[in-house]
Structure 1
Amino acid sequence: MTTAADLMNPGAQWIPATESLDRAAQLMRELDVGALPVSDPNERLCGIITDRDIVVRCVAAGRDPGKTTAGDLCEGTPRWISSVAGVDDVLAEMESHQIRRLPVIDENKRLVGMISEADLARTLTDDQLAEFVERVYA
C-alpha cells in the first residue's frame, strides 16, 4: 500500500510562528518551496503560509514583512495527515478541504514532510490525478 510517507517530499522545515515574513520569504527561497508549515512554541502545526500569502496579505496590504510574523497570517484549523495514511486518505483530505499542500506528521506529531500537487503527479494514475484536480479546483 502506498502511504503518505511514500508520496511526500521529505525534509520539510517549520518556521516558528514568531518569525518575520522577511525570514519566511528567505527560507522559501533557500529551500526552493512556495509554502512553509508554521509551528507554535511546542513545534506543533499551527498553520501554513505561502509565498502568495506574503505578497497578497502582507506586502500588497501595506504591511511590513519585517514586522509581520508568520503566525499573523495563520488562519483556521491546519490540515495534516499521518505518515502511515494511505493514498486514498491523502486524496480525501486534500480534496475535501480543497488544499494543494499537506503536511505529513509522524507518530510523535512531528513534521516529516509535505505532499504537494507535484508529488501526487509523480505517483497517481492519470485518472486519479484528473479526479483530484477536478475536486480541488471545483
Structure 2
Amino acid sequence: MRVSEAMTRDVQVANPNQSLYDVARIMADCDIGCLPVGENDKLVGMITDRDITVRAIAKGKAADSTKVRDVMSSDVKYCYDDAEISDVARNMGDIKLHRLPVVDHDKHLVGILALADVANCEGPGDAGVAVCGISEPPDVLG
C-alpha cells in the first residue's frame, strides 16, 4: 500500500512568523500535536506541542510573543506520497518519529502520515515495527 492511500490530506500549515499561542490554539482546535511550517510554498520546519512546551514555555518564553521559527525543528524529515507504507513505517522507527510530512516529487506538501494512519491501513504489523524502533533506547555505549 502507498502512503497516499493512508495519509491525512487536510493539513493545516503554520507560518514561521505566527506566535506560539496562535499555533497552540490551532493544535487544540484540531486535536493535533504537530503542524508543518511553510513559507513561500516551501516546507521549512515542523512545530510540535513538545517544541512549544520544552523549547519555549519551560524556558520562560511568552507564548504570545515567541514566534514559531524560534522553536520549530528546521531539519524536516519527510516521505513521498508514492512510497510503500511498510518502508516508511520502518524508517519512522529508525529515525524515531511518530509523524512525517508527505510531499510529492515536486516537494509540495500533500499530507501527513502518522503511526495511527499506518496502523489503520496496514494493521499492527508495520505500525508495530515503527513503534518498536521509536521505543528502543538509544545506544549510549556505542
Normalised by the length of structure 1, the TM-score is 0.89
Question: Could you tell me how far apart the structure 2 residues matched to 1:126 and 1:28 are?
Answer: 27
Question: Could you tell me how far apart the structure 2 residues matched to 1:18 and 1:38 are?
Answer: 10
Q: Does 1:122 align with 2:120?
A: yes
Question: Could you tell me how far apart the structure 2 residues matched to 1:80 and 1:128 are?
Answer: 17
In structure 1, the partner of 2:97 is 99
Q: State the AA in 2 paired with 1:36.
A: L
In structure 1, the partner of 2:133 is 135
State the Cα deviation string for residues 28-68 of structure 1 (Å, max 9, x = none).
1222211100113x221122111122122211210011111
The total of aligned residue pairs comes to 136
Q: Any gaps of 5 or more consecutive residues in structure 2?
A: 137-142
Is the CA contact 1:46–1:74 (under 8 Å) kept in the aligned structure 2?
no
State the Cα deviation string for residues 87-123 of structure 1 (Å, max 9, x = none).
1331233122110010111233221111112111212
RMSD of equivalent CA atoms: 1.6
Partner SS for 1:15: coil
Question: Could you tell me how far apart the structure 2 residues matched to 1:10 and 1:61 are?
Answer: 34
Structural mapping, 1:1-138, within 5 Å:
2-40=1-39, 42-138=40-136
Judged with a 3 Å threshold, the aligned counterparts in structure 2 of structure 1 residues 130 and 93 are, in CA distance, closer, same or farther, namely closer
Partner SS for 2:76: coil
Q: Which runs of 4+ in 1 moved over 4 A?
A: none
